[in-house]
Amino acid sequence: MTIRTIAEAREKLLAGEVTLRELVEGYKSQIIARNEEVNAFVYLDFDSAFEQADAIQKKVDEGDAGALVGAIMGIKDVICERGKPTTCASNILENFESVYDATVIERLQAEDAILIGRLNMDEFAMGSTNEYSRYGAAKNPHDTSKVTGGSSGGSAAAVAANMANATLGSDTGGSIRQPASYCGVVGLKPTYGRVSRYGLVAYASSFDSIGPFGNSVEDVAMVLQTIAGFDERDNTCSSKEKADYVSAVKNPDKKIKIGVPESLFGEGLDSEIESSIKEILDKLKSEGAELVPVELPHSKYALATYYILATAEASSNLARFDGIRYGHRADKNEVLDELKLEEEALKSAIKSAEGDNLIAIQKELDRLDAPLTRLYKKSRTEGFGVEVKRRIMLGTYVLSAGYYDAYYGKAQRVRRLIQQDFTNAFKNVDVIVTPTAPTTAFGLVEKQDDPVQMYLNDIYTISANLAGICGISIPAGTHSNGLPFGIQFMADSFQESKVLNAARLVELFR
């Protein structure tokens, strides 16, 4: 037995129509049936899940169950769980097990959610397709020849394939909302600082947000209600009081003002997606919503700004994975043997060299790495994948002497302008609507040789991370190619209730 939403599972549990052990057994059966094909889960612990189920069932029977009883969840492999692998889908952390729980894990467990496993992702959350993973690509449950989106592709796929009724992902530039669109589920990126990042392995520290996936807007509201709130262990976490997100979903206000940035509807956007979103907006208008044109003049610079700033932060954050303090370490003896052979070859060449050639060889000999430096290089070369290396190199470049002001400094100034655009827009509207992605999910390996085209799939989602605001993707329909696509709503900082309200209206009217 599998039940698609937390709300329904909770209702049946409290009515005695089902037990938690039966729920877990149902999801276990679905995982066994589909995970080999979809590759959403990369680690499973059913023994622990059944132990949790039996313990929580006693609380259900005594009328003392938590707010998330009935939630059977998977966790993205970038969020720390005590005693569980936290590999970030990278070879450099292939044998690492976390020694502590992230704040979000503590909060989920305190409200009786059951955690059944770890979910696939792009390595260190760097990717838009979930193809850059040491575990292989996660595949779209609607068509396994297509990508799931990324980096939280496993989190979206698990919900879409009914292998869990909710999951956690992380969103740095759209990594929750874009895969939610491709897989046809609900995905919420909270305001930066709304949910504690303690226990989240950092990609870009001023962008990263943890958020939920679910099959309904109510489910993501329930999970957000649990994981949101101040945490003294994260000094970027806001002490601002959280709202009642579940109430916002149960009693949605139809008379909302929706900002429509016409500049984001046009070139590059699939025509079917565009027409479907406009039909949804017409429906919302007929039910009482007001559509208001808004301008976001600096959004055209968002993609370039994001990939400068995020990669700069990534190059800094990932410097700690050097094979000495953290992560995979190359074989020391191989490194020493390699250096010895290079040194002997150069010394041999010096004996027969003359003039400029002799000077050149001597300089090459002098530049040979020290053993520790070579160990660093070899460890990182073996441990990191191609996309992570690409972003580290780009980030190091924009932070380097002579380029810092031209790239990083300028990008920070543009980021402020993008934030100001949203601040101005939200003076007149409750939410802003855009597509979530320009197309439906494309084929596996289709864009691997063209990273710029892959990055363009985040064009509608990146601005929310630059501005630090909240956003949600909700299914908007099914394309003629049979694949789902989403509509995105964004609201001002700490206004999650507004995006949940708008998303619920779409859910009701669609």
| Contact in structure between 214 and 166 (CB atoms under 8 Å) | yes
How does DSSP assign 468-497, residue by residue? T-EEEEEEEEE-TTS-EEEEEEEESTT-HH
| Contact in structure between 200 and 228 (CB atoms under 8 Å) | no
Q: Is 59 exposed, middle or buried (0-12, 13-18, 19+ CB in 10 A)?
A: middle
Active-site position among 151, 170, 209, 276:
151
CA separation for the pair 378, 363 (Å, rounded) = 22
**SS3 call for 292:** strand
Active-site position among 170, 175, 209, 379:
175
Strand pairing of 431-435 and 484-491?
Answer: antiparallel
Query: Tokens 């619920």 identify what position?
Result: 504
Is 151 part of the annotated catalytic residue set?
yes
How does DSSP assign 413-462, residue by residue? HHHHHHHHHHHHHTTT-SEEEEESSSSS--BTTTTTT-HHHHHGGGTTTH
| Contact in structure between 246 and 217 (CB atoms under 8 Å) | no
Strand pairing of 470-478 and 484-491?
Answer: antiparallel
Which amino acid would we find at residue 87? T
CA separation for the pair 192, 196 (Å, rounded) = 9
Is 152 part of the annotated catalytic residue set?
no
CA separation for the pair 434, 258 (Å, rounded) = 10
Nearest to 124 by CA among 456, 453, 386: 386
**SS3 call for 36:** helix
Active-site position among 76, 84, 378, 447:
76
Token pair listed for 438? 């320009």
Which neighbouring-strand residues pair with 486? 475
Is 493 part of the annotated catalytic residue set?
no
Residues annotated as part of the active site: 76, 151, 175
